[in-house]
A and B are shown apart, each in its own frame.
Chain A
Amino acid sequence: MDTIVCLKQVVDPELPQWDFAIDPATKRQVRMGKPLVISTYDENALELALQLKEKTGGKVTALTLGPQGEVKDAVRLALAMGADEAVVIDDPQSPQRLAADKASVLAAAIKRIGRFDLVLTGCESADWVERAMAPFLAEALGAACVTFISRAESRDGALSVRRTSEEGFQTVDVRLPAVLSVTSDEAIRPRLPKVKDIMAAMRKPVANWTRADLGAEDAGGAKGVEVKDVSIPERTTKVEFLEGEPAEQAEALVARLRALKIL
């Protein structure tokens, strides 16, 4: 099974709140000097790809779109974990782009890579959480699509996957080629690379392409959607103490939770 895994590098989502700031110019999180990591679920996707490869053979290609100077670590980690090849598409603007825009570039890159049975993405990126990449790619590539899966098994030329749903899980049979988005699960906890794999990764091929190479022109924003504003909600986490007898306190809390749409 030949698999392409799309990896995105994001600013460490576990950064302390103090360190979190929005750059008014880009309307995105300040990246300068912040640690970058592979977006959480993308690593699960890579792990799943590697496990499938271990069972059925084939090749795993890591594909990433981002400012070339920044993505080295992500690519190195993916190769060390066991990806066979990597493709980097240099796009200094990518942190500002929305999924629809990036999907067209990634789809062009996947077509250029050529053969694939499966494309995997994370179920959501840790920063922008659009949850749209896998369905977009499926459409662009004419492939089947299932999102939020956590397990996949190969069954006579097709796949059987486990999708997380509101109620629990659904087992879904998927024809190939397919684009799947992956969520976390104990069984696909990203592996820690072995040192010899880290060394070997240095010799694995990495292709460097640009947006222009792929013929994707700079659309400068995604088809009629513009990010107008990104603001940090005033964390006036002044705690509101709910006073009274337990029953009154409970009543007050229920009202607050309803206002927050949690109840």
Chain B
Amino acid sequence: MSALPSRAVCDCPVDAITEVADGTHLLRFRSPVISNQSLPGQFVNIKVSGGQHPLLRRPFSVCRVNAREGWFEVLWKVVGQGTAIMAQARPGDTFSVIGPLGRGYTVPESTRTALLVGGGLGVAPLPFLAENLAAAGTSVEVYVGARSKGDLSMLEAFGSLGLEPVIATEDGSVGACGFVTAPLTTRLKELQGAPDAHLFSCGPTGFLKAMTALSKQYEIPGQIAIETVMACGFGICVGCAVPAKRQVGTGRRYKLACIDGPVFDSDEVELDG
């Protein structure tokens, strides 16, 4: 895994905010520090309100960055108070952001074929990863699953890299009807055991469980980006524990999602729920 890079508490002005899908927003922050330091799969922790409601910061994956222009983007869906407040942001507003945080995706040197798989909002960290992989000359295939057409976002970000995501929607409104694991499985059968293929996924827990199972079944190593509740995001509250799969000695051992993750090898942690 990559070493912890330097991170900082930054006051970041909003450059732009767009509703890119139903209730889904893409916000561009200006921050030379964070855009220069971030790696794909890392996250930022945002203070969404100037006051104490909500009290804690809200974590979001770094979705895209442009280090040269000094900006990074986050993509989110409104699910509660914090994400609703962020949706009200306007260009020129400033947020306190801590980042970049955590360990992101690690691309093994042997990787020739990278399969990027996003379930729902799990697409968030993938454009940044796709861009870096494409720049390194790795063959990138993107798989995106969503409930419906209106929930899909960031497709043009992949398009601008010359990538055409394979899409599946649960209601069949676009792409294959059903879960994205179906078209992915077809591809994994072809690749079975390939030493130079690697799976990179992000999404809800049930989806990550499926990805872990596929990774094992088709002998393609994978990495998953998980979500937990977080109070701090940088290792001081010890609240973001996830049970480790490989137990050392007797009794349970835990990993911390914010510093040991949020990206883990798919056989590294137990997924609940």
**A and B, one complex?**
no
Chain A positions near chain B (C-beta within 8 angstroms):
none
